[in-house]
Structure 1
């Protein structure tokens, strides 16, 4: 890499020795770009131990020197050609990830030499113009690489895949290396089928094959759930138990899986005890999400009394760490169920962050989470009443696989979008959440009424008796 960039002085063997002359001086990319622009990949530059230092020296002194590696550090000087430095006037553009920028930013020379930082987005708006650019990219790639061309349905699937990579219906991913991989594979599949053009079935197969090559861990986890080694229910009702949803990542592949979340409530004043936090298995964001629940419960049930409550919440069969607040709404549902003694439907799974006001906030990985629970339900058998509760603000992020869309159309699987905790608890239990009447009490028989009633009972146990005073 060094010689390609800075040039070299070549030698030839002659009479058991080596010799050179000015005709064997070879220019590098830096010389050829003199007076113009030179674009380099940071990763390649840093992988060569001599390249980065030499590039800084050339830009700092504005001279392009042809010098073989080791000339400056040679212990015994030798007589050889020493070409005169060439005045250098070149603009160098370094391309790399933000990780490399942060790494190089610690170098004082880097900040002086590379003053302009441009941060490119990994997605763009899904406009008609950008869709045409996407299609043009695929067409030019097929032309340049001698691949089979894509018909309209195949191109539409590639565009849809670009939105899936961006996790947004209104965006397209600019990670063209991943899109290119699908284009290559789809063309190869069409070639195997002896098709004149790449069809939508070839694109779908290419996407599925890409997933299959990376989903070994996902299949193992699903097998554990199917064989009841990991306990997940997709039918029935249980008090204080809910199916949460999480995303796991392996290399560049991520997938969703359900997790059993349970809550037990009893007399005490410790508030919500996050078992993961107590055992140092909880990340900061997850701990914050659980602590937020205290504010919601206090606002609902402790305006005129103390919150005489201890609630233990945990992810069952979790043996690694947990991070993120996307399960905070599920944890709150489990606590409300335990307080009210109203069971939660196990045919539903929940994802969504919650704030102290009870508003459901958006989360990441919504597609993986929905598909993860759908796959488990499919393995155990779809019953027609299974589904997922997601934040309403995540609706525009839905880019689901065809099997899920088909199941939703046939009413075999359901997706519920909620904005508030009250909406979610009503779907999970089939019981009204409850509103405060003119007397400041929740309507009888509602979730909040039953929960408030139990908290009052806890407070009676905690309040010292005044008899005999």
Structure 2
């Protein structure tokens, strides 16, 4: 057996980057100037600035990045700067359309003028409601009106008197006949000075008191006079209509100067074409609507509902706005974003609406400026995404009744469309952006600028100074205690841990800000004057303690022996892998037992997790890659006949990722060679088909997870982990792990390939193939190759003639 020992391991100074307090530019964060600019996002800032500067169609902005990288803060800060520099947009009003009431008229006027116009119209109506009723009660108006009535009434009397005289000459009289609630004029014969109905005359004829010819003559005259009666009363009706026309003309003649004067006063102060056209219609309607003023009660102080059509609906008031509006819509449902047309229900249950019930949403309030919305919120709200796309694509905004989208019956208005001039900024993650980009053809046309926020930044003297200024800003905003040099250094080290690389700092500032707040809390509890390293470390520890219950439970099961993990000895076909559990708020690592069993057969490598539907796609890929590695290593001269099963023992929730592919190879090589693997070591690393070890994620959590298990069971001085050499740059281990390495109680080995790893795990030389693809005896690969040959011969011995490639008679 060719043994090997003395494997190189990582020194303690490679396991964790430590921030030197002397590198901090101040003694305390209180000495620094608060940070006002955006930190570590130069690329994103350039993209956003480009999108803001280009005013062409479609140059809206979609910001991606991890939560807490400052996306919302950045865009708000940039837009606040532009807000004051850009032109203040116009006010937006809707007024009544007197010709087509269902199509309200849009009016746009310079900022502040809309409010003034609305106030002027209110004052105009108040003035007319006071002055016109007074005019209608004036002697001048009453005398002229009474004169018109008197003349017309005389005409009626003259016509009626002339007819009555004609009727009397013919022996008749005009009477009123009551018919229910109404009466009608009729004629009745007059005999000897007395009106006598035809029925009574007929009786006199029967009694021979009046000749029959008299009755017949009276009937003939009655028919003739009745026809004239209809003509006379038609003329009387014509005179009534003439009277009303004359009175209406007089009314209009009387009030027109008052109305014209009031409206011309408004017109002179609002010299805008659409207001001028609207005032023309208002003038006509007011002159024709005199009855509105006549119907008022004396004690009315507010405009009655009848004057609703003359109101001004000021939809967007920019009178207090200075520059372009910036609207941050935190709840972008349809109504909040696009407004609505409200309605009321009448007593009979019908829906009723009018132009005064049109309400603006955030989109219209942002017209001429900028609208910021969360992408996910906008996508999940019914109707929002489709309406937003249509509006941005067509640059036309139409307010619709929200209920119409769902085919509810409601009163409908079709307000005049508005030209949309809004720069939309959506904030979301990369997954949402990619989904929209590839699945929605319109998306790439209306969101042409993508700004990607990085989760990390370069670590240098400049970034240290920026971090200090950021700390100062948080302390000032939340009235927190300042951090001293050691406290700032500890916070920067934690930022490096979050970033995942020793030469980077995290830009997830919401996490950093929370640690600053909680560190200040612990410092205050300790009655300190400044936040030090121990306070920062206490805050970090407490943050994980609050959410690490599951980690503690798994650790307990390992310590109790419920989950089987060995940290001493050596076992054939068994190795400690390293898994990471992502709980959202935090990640932690724990070892997992991986076993391999090999036997005769042609099934190849069986992934037990896959067979049980517990394996994810990347884990399946890893198993296929290790199969390729085995074929390339041992099947270049002869076919490889093997059945091997791989399993994550006591895994019931699914396995994914390829970081255990190298670990699984070690287990198979151990099973084939018969060489036991060290159980005091844990292994992680992705594998390629050439046998090279590739970097993995979660390296700190994995190492710490195995360290915690070893410490609980007792550190022996031989325990440690094997990691890919590329992951050294990612190491930011806890202080107790580094201390254990310094004391020689724990070890971290880096490997570049399978050969290095198998030698550490077995203590046996891996072996290199000669020109004939044969491995030296006593090496790992030599033992594996011999075993594969034995399995192949055994399989051939047990196989039938057909399997051996022979005919029925044994001939080849």
Shift of 1:51: 5.5
Pairing 1:222–2:555 present: yes
2:422: which partner in 1? 90
In structure 2, what is the Cα distance between the partners aligned to 1:238 and 1:47?
Answer: 54
The runs of 5 or more residues in structure 1 that have no matched partner are: 12-18
In structure 2, what is the Cα distance between the partners aligned to 1:108 and 1:338?
Answer: 54
Distance 1:336 1:120, change over 3 A: same
8 Å CA contact retained: 2:685, 2:695:
yes
- CA-to-aligned-CA distance 1:192-231 (integer Å, 9 cap, x gap): 2222111111111111111112111111111111111110
Shift of 1:137: 1.6
Shift of 1:429: 1.0
Distance 1:133 1:31, change over 3 A: farther
8 Å CA contact retained: 2:724, 2:752:
yes
Shift of 1:388: 0.5
8 Å CA contact retained: 2:459, 2:503:
yes
2:242: which partner in 1? none
Distance 1:77 1:278, change over 3 A: closer
In structure 2, what is the Cα distance between the partners aligned to 1:74 and 1:462?
Answer: 75
**Greater mean alpha carbon deviation, residues 179-188 or residues 388-397:** 179-188
CA RMSD of aligned residues (A): 3.3
8 Å CA contact retained: 2:404, 2:410:
no
Shift of 1:424: 0.4
Q: How does 1:271-286 map to 2 (within 5 A)?
A: 271-286=604-619
1:313 to 631, 643, 646: 646
Alignment TM-score, normalising by the size of structure 1: 0.87
8 Å CA contact retained: 2:636, 2:773:
no
Q: How does 1:5-404 map to 2 (within 5 A)?
A: 30=363, 33-46=366-379, 49=382, 55-56=388-389, 59-60=392-393, 62=395, 75=409, 77=411, 87-102=419-434, 104-105=436-437, 106-107=439-440, 109-404=442-737
In structure 2, what is the Cα distance between the partners aligned to 1:83 and 1:34?
Answer: 17
- CA-to-aligned-CA distance 1:249-294 (integer Å, 9 cap, x gap): 2233221111111112222232222222222222222122112222
In structure 2, what is the Cα distance between the partners aligned to 1:173 and 1:288?
Answer: 31
Shift of 1:163: 1.8
Secondary structure of 2:723's aligned partner:
strand
Shift of 1:340: 1.4
Secondary structure of 1:38's aligned partner:
strand
Shift of 1:114: 2.3
Distance 1:75 1:407, change over 3 A: same
**Greater mean alpha carbon deviation, residues 417-426 or residues 108-117:** 108-117
1:442: which partner in 2? 775
In structure 2, what is the Cα distance between the partners aligned to 1:217 and 1:178?
Answer: 22
1:15: which partner in 2? none
Shift of 1:332: 0.7
Shift of 1:98: 2.6
Distance 1:196 1:31, change over 3 A: farther
**Greater mean alpha carbon deviation, residues 156-165 or residues 68-77:** 68-77
**Greater mean alpha carbon deviation, residues 121-130 or residues 82-91:** 82-91
8 Å CA contact retained: 2:718, 2:745:
yes
Distance 1:58 1:341, change over 3 A: closer
- CA-to-aligned-CA distance 1:68-105 (integer Å, 9 cap, x gap): 866998855499xx997765433221112234435555
The runs of 5 or more residues in structure 2 that have no matched partner are: 1-330, 344-352, 799-805
Ranked by relative contact order (alpha carbons within 8 Å, sequence separation 6 or more), the top structure is 2
8 Å CA contact retained: 2:487, 2:532:
yes
Distance 1:286 1:61, change over 3 A: closer
Secondary structure of 2:615's aligned partner:
coil
Secondary structure of 2:577's aligned partner:
strand
- CA-to-aligned-CA distance 1:341-377 (integer Å, 9 cap, x gap): 1111100000001112111111111111111111111
1:14: which partner in 2? none
In structure 2, what is the Cα distance between the partners aligned to 1:193 and 1:48?
Answer: 48
In structure 1, what is the Cα distance between the partners aligned to 2:336 and 2:479?
Answer: 29
Shift of 1:56: 4.8
In structure 1, what is the Cα distance between the partners aligned to 2:534 and 2:591?
Answer: 30
Secondary structure of 1:434's aligned partner:
coil
Distance 1:53 1:240, change over 3 A: closer
- CA-to-aligned-CA distance 1:157-209 (integer Å, 9 cap, x gap): 22222221121112222222222221221121112222211111111111111
In structure 2, what is the Cα distance between the partners aligned to 1:85 and 1:306?
Answer: 76
8 Å CA contact retained: 2:597, 2:644:
yes
In structure 2, what is the Cα distance between the partners aligned to 1:310 and 1:47?
Answer: 50
Distance 1:32 1:334, change over 3 A: same
**Per residue, is there more helix in 1 or in 2?**
2
8 Å CA contact retained: 2:637, 2:773:
no
In structure 2, what is the Cα distance between the partners aligned to 1:346 and 1:437?
Answer: 32
Secondary structure of 2:682's aligned partner:
strand
**Greater mean alpha carbon deviation, residues 253-262 or residues 296-305:** 296-305
In structure 1, what is the Cα distance between the partners aligned to 2:433 and 2:773?
Answer: 58
In structure 1, what is the Cα distance between the partners aligned to 2:404 and 2:600?
Answer: 79
1:411 to 722, 733, 744: 744
Alignment TM-score, normalising by the size of structure 2: 0.52
**Pairs aligned (count):** 459
In structure 2, what is the Cα distance between the partners aligned to 1:362 and 1:247?
Answer: 14
Pairing 1:451–2:777 present: no
**Structure of greater Rg:** 2
